[in-house]
Structures are given as structure tokens and as C-alpha cells.
Structure 1
Amino acid sequence: MSQPAKRVLITAGASGIGRAMAAGFAETGAEVWVTDVNAAALAQVPDSWQARVVDAADETAVAALFAEIGAGGGLDVLCANAGVAGPTAPVEDVALADWRSCVSVNLEGAFLAAKYAAPLMKAAGQGSIVLTSSTAGIYGYPNRAPYAAAKWAVIGLMKTLAMELGPFGIRANAICPGAVEGPRMEGVLQREAALKGMSRAAVYDGYAAGTSMRTWVTAEDVANMAVFLGSPAARRVSGQIIAVDGHTENPDPKV
């Protein structure tokens, strides 16, 4: 990619990490497209962004979206960011329906986005695919079996995309956020505190204590990495697992 990204799609881009990614790319002058299942949140994004209500795991909707993007000029960067936290429970207490729901959004959503982005990028002879995984996809995570399994699989998908699409000038990388400040992790904190019989504050502090920098990260920290991976500065970076987590030392939070 000899030029800055011109057209970028971020799935789950109406809030949290996705919105921060969209804002970061918009600052570079890119034409930003965002999707989300939350229509109310999408209504709050800047008017200059192209916003569409799309379920990342609905192939018909995803195919229609990419047909529209392709007709409008193609795609330089895909940030497949859609995901859900899934249940927080011992594996024996996880319902199959909850497992499937979590894996569907986190893994199938990434697969479908990559499937339909690939032809557009092949036609252009360049592109960058950024998949949002997690440090749970590097280390595993107690009481988060569906989420960890899906995020490990996202890394396998990324490695395969990098090998398969590299000859066409397309790069693929995975960002692995650690504990990110925001509503999604707040829900995890509350459920984990209840499961362990601890206070929310103690669980929160435990996440920070499990990193060498003793810190949580922000959505903007993650977005900065996505913008880098979509830029010419990363033109030889592909197939990489890049953690943005303050360096996780222990995947089970210290308390």
C-alpha cells in the first residue's frame, strides 16, 4: 500500500474499540464505513461516515454490504472487529446455545468479512485485513471458554489469510487487546465478581496486576494499532499476532 488507506470498513464500529478505530482512520482522511447491529448507536456516528445496520454473522446481509462497497470503489482496509463477550461461567455451566452465539459473532463474523473483502482487495492488488482477537486468544482464559476458543480460532484464520492472500498483495494481522476500559468489560467484571464472590473493584485491580505495566488499555490504544496496520508504514507486516495489553503476564487476573 503505497498510499494511505482511502476506504476502510470497521465492523461493530458504532461504539467502543470499533468507533475508536473508525475515528482514527477518519483522521487520516479515509472514507469510513461502519456496521453495527445497534441502530441507535449507529445514528450517533458522524454524518461523514457511511453507516449500515448489519449483523456480522448474517451472510446475506454481509454479501449485500460488500456488493455496495465494491460498486462504490472497492476497499483498502477491513477491520473485522465484531464480537461479543459471551458467558462467564465454568465450562460445565455453559449452554450450547450461548457457546454457538459467541462463536458465531466472534469467528463467523470475521470469516464472512474476510470472505467478501478478499475479492475486492484481489482486484485492487492490495489491502490490509485486521482481525480483532484478544489476549484470551493467546493464553486462554478461565470461565470464558466460548470467547477464548473463538478468539484462538480468529488467530488461526488470520494466519491462513496471510498465507493465502499474501501473493495478491494483501496483508492480514490480528490485534489482541487486553482488558479494555468500557461497557463490554464492565459486564465481564460484574459477572466475574459474582462468580468469584469478590468485589468488582478487586477483580478490576486483578486485571491490571496481571500485566507488567500494571494497567488497563483504552479503545484508542487499540485503534492506534489498527491505523498503523492499515497504513503504508506496515506494508511488510503480515501474519502477526500483536497484543495491545500492557504485556499480559498472567491470563488469570491476580486478586
Structure 2
Amino acid sequence: MTDHEERLARIGLACAASLRPLPIPADGETSPVRLWERIGASQPTVDPARVLADAERAGWRILVPGDAEWPPVPPGTADIGEAPWALWVRGEGDLGAATRRSVAVIGARASTGYGEQVAALLAGDLANREWTVVTSCALGCDSHAYTAAARGTTAPIAVYAAQPDLERFRRHRPEPRLLLSDAPPDTPAGRHRYLTSRTSCATCPPESSSPKPPSIASPSRPPTTRGAEAASSWPSPGRSPARRAPPPTI
């Protein structure tokens, strides 16, 4: 269980990182409390205690490492600057339980029809095989992945990058079982936020010791430019409608 001082420090660091990427300390310092002591004075608009109280009033819970719901961080993402400082979570589901058997399905925002088709195929099939699909609130492939997974038997997890994404998502969709981000819901849009949200998607799928998702056959039409990926694997398109490529393993 994380003590209250570290929880507030992590919330402060997460808020600061949502506005601009934080520099990696030259001395290798990793203590959230000491790091917040260093940069807190340069963040006069960030009051971690107020952020925590506001989140609770609005129906959000802020998770930090050590909380029962905190998802296991996959190997390779635990370095400072990559793993989230904290997670804003909303919904009735338990994040830790939901991510024990999960896979991220993400792709291009400016997607092709093929990419959208593959994203929907992967997400829908995985959701019907009791895998929790983690994808973002963005347009393009991720939107199609979420829609297909939401129609399946296992509810997906939606990850927002910034306030505009979150507002658009909530206007057009019912409240998901789990909605989350590594930044507050009022975070302004920025290029680094959309890149960071990919890391948040990758943080939710379980450690490599978990069972691998099943193989899924991909559409036979080759892509033109941009498409979807699931857990870092690109589905192999067939050479023609008559010849299917072997199904990819993700």
C-alpha cells in the first residue's frame, strides 16, 4: 500500500507530465517524493491534494503503484519516464482484474479502410474469446476496435489522451465499463499526449507470463498505407482473395 505522501507526489508528477514531458534526472533519482520536491515549486497551478479531492467528487479514482487495482507493468516499460506516475480510472470494473487477460489493439488515427477492418476483426474476435481489449478514445483504427470489442462478450477498456478525446468519446458512446488515462480528464490536447496514451495502452496488458492471445485470421485484401496493430504485431494480409496468408499470432 502506497503512503499518502508518495500518492500526492505521484499525482503532482502525473499532472506536470500531462502538460509537458518531464526530464529524466541526471542523477538517476527515482523517488516520486524527492522528484516532486524538486519540481513542485515550478508547478504553482498543481495542488495534488486538490486534484485528488476533485477527482473523487467527480467519480474518478486515482491509482498508484501499490494499489490493489494497479495493473502489472509489462517488462520493458518500468523505466522512469515510461511507466505512468498515476492512473485516473472511472467505471465499475476492477482494473487489475480486467487486465489479467488483456491485449492492446491500437492503430493509426488517419487510417485506411483496411486498417479499420483489421482493427475491428482483431478486437471483436478477442473480446468474444474472453480477452479484455485495451484501446484509445481516438478516431481511426482505435474507434473501430472499441466498437467491435464493445459488441463482444468481454467489455473493453478505453484510454483517453486529453480532454478533447474524452469529450468526443463521451458524446458518442455510453459510459464504458472502464475508462482511464495517466492524466487528469481536463488535460489539454498536445502531440506528446497522444504519444503518451499509447504507453498507457501498453501498460494495461499483463506481464509476459500471462497466456498469449489466440491466433486470428486476417482479411485477405492487402493494406495501402496505414492499419492496425495488436500487441505490437502486424496481421499478415493475403496475396489475393483466393489465397489467405497464415493467421498472425499476437
TM-score, normalization by structure 1: 0.23
- The higher radius of gyration belongs to 2
TM-score, normalization by structure 2: 0.24
